Structure 1
Amino acid sequence: MSNTETHPHEVVCHDGGLPGPRSQCADGVPVEIIEAREVPLGGPRAMTVRRTLPQRQRSMIGAWCFADHYGPDDVSMTGGMDVAPHPHTGLQTVSWLFEGAIDHIDSGGNTGRVLPGQLNLMTAGHGICHSEVSTESTTVLHGVQLWLALPDAVRDTLPRRFEHYEPEPVAFDGGSALIFLGQLLGAASPVAVHSPLVAAEIRLDPAATLELPVDPRFEHGVLVDAGDLTLEGVSVPHATMGYTGIGSTMLRLRNEGTTPARAVLIGGAPFGEDIIMWWNFVGRDSDEITRYRQEWQDESDRFGEVLGYVGHDPDGLKRLPAPALPGVRLHPRQNRPPHVQG
């Protein structure tokens, strides 16, 4: 997925953040609430996504540096997803759907259809470009798009890749989980990652509680898609993320409602590297971002070419142009610790 904002702000990503609500449980883990901001994706009939990462409050959770949540979206009203070829550097994109289907084409020569319950992970590395279009048969589109920052040691050396994995459900008393990256609940994803992390879809029946063993090295975020969910006794509203810092060995999730609940859990060890995100680029300094933008505009070999993109609008853009850079150098902000602040 592209960040299609025409005037994107520079985002300097660090671990850590600002104060948020805390659990009132005697033995509970502190919880910080990260609210989403709405961002239009596409043209005049743009579908709206709800973005919880990055924000000034908290710009990373482990290596996770971007989180968009969208739908359920009636594509007859919004036009669905139609993102023309656009570039990425220094990251991996994670596509995870609840409903609908999206066709993917990238400049690594990879094509794929993203379907519910199936991980699709694209590695940009040195540079890649890709398109994403919801299929003609899709009537409702609903899912999340996540980005992983790649460590400096590998971000320029990894090849362009597109990986697919369909995890088997892991059942527990009161629900089930799909672990699509890392290890959780005794299940492990075979998909290789380049920093310690985890990601899973968690489903909870009405009035069910899950006591979830987690890695104490990790900070975690729980993005609520459906249901009346609490994390450590703190209510996490729909389309918001509950954050917990490092040091926890157990997280308690409960569905307080009368309908099924669903959430996406992400987590990872604090990334330990400052990154600058601007538009669809992840870099380390202002000069890199400037160079990436110019190379995209020049149609350089860094990003390659998407062959076969057909959008919903025959007169639409065949390639997304990069927005204008701000007239100042991009500088890091002060890093914050991977704990709920307060």
Structure 2
Amino acid sequence: MEKMPQTGAAPQHNAAKQKLRTMAGLEYHYMLRELSPLCGKFLSKFYELEEGLFRLRFGDFDLLVQLGVRMHLTKYISPAPQTPSNFCEFVRKRLDGKKLVSLTQHGMDRIIFAKFSSPSEEFTLVFEMFAGGNLLILDKDGTIIRPYKKEEWKDRRLARGEKYKPPASLEIPFPPSAQELAALFSQSEKEKFTISALSQLSIGTAYLNEALLACKVPPKTPASSLSPSQISSIAAELSRMHSSLSPTACKKGGVISDFSLVPLSSCSSLEQAHSESLSPIMDEYYLSHASSKAPPSGHEKKKEQLQNRLSTQLAALEDAQKQAQECMHAGNSVMQNSASLEKLASEINSMRAKKTSWEEIALALKKKKIEMEKTGSVVYVEL
């Protein structure tokens, strides 16, 4: 993986306004190869640069994540807000100094799991990179302890205390075999187009269209009408595509206007420059199109400030309520076990009266599965 040097503030480009291109499932699949050297490194910084835009520092590497849009290494270090958001502080408190154990993708879906651990704790960041995107923090059991955005659908809920469940998707490995594709097409509705059926592979429409073009199969061909030879041809082309991925910048007037992992017919009229890494291409692409985002109006800024303040206050209230419940539960447990605790205190005082050292008392209590600091300052009792 190419090391991304820090170069301070990002230079400015004058690019024509256009909608930002979002990463496809196949591109996240490739990007995780580039990011694999981050595994084993420790998270030293976590920033929320603006709404939905995060930077994670691992040693000398900076990972930039824009929810629902992109994930890549960056060499352009934008200044972070002086006051971190409530969500940012929540993440820092739990993940600062934790080791990144693994980076995995949910099949070919645009969902990335970043697992962190320390000798005593384990957390997972879930980056949902489709639609508007979301970021969730899970505990070791896969329960959501904080969502960036609380969301709910008919079959899934992203909220604190809920078990994380990704959206239902097709469990077919990529690239699929001819037999797996045949099964996929046979299960499709009679009039469903081939491109619609293939979209369940989640690699990205541009790549599917390119594969069908190479196989001379019109995208709107009914999937149920494909012959065995056509299905085999599509499977072979997807396999060839997967084995020959190469990051490519498509330029117009010296500015990157698109990027891909295979030659795309839609970019045939553009200058194409290949690279060993996808991150530098994406870094330049999104930088050059940053000006396409219209600045918020004064009313929108005020509304956003109030929404952020409300979210912070609600999160603080939720934390306070949970802490109060935990304290109440702890108090009830102490009251219910007061006789046992008084007996334990009496035993410790009796041993101290006999000049028994704190270390000896700690060893004696350990036999009863009771932990105590060797200074005698704290006793841990499970109630």
One fold, TM greater than 0.5?
Answer: no
Kindly indicate which of the two structures has a greater share of residues assigned to helix.
2
Q: Which has the higher contact order (CA 8 A, sep 6+)?
A: 1
- Answer with 1 or 2: which has the greater Rg: 2
Q: TM-score range by the shorter chain?
A: under 0.3
What TM-score results when the alignment is normalised by the length of structure 2?
A: 0.26
Q: Which structure has more strand as a fraction of its residues?
A: 1
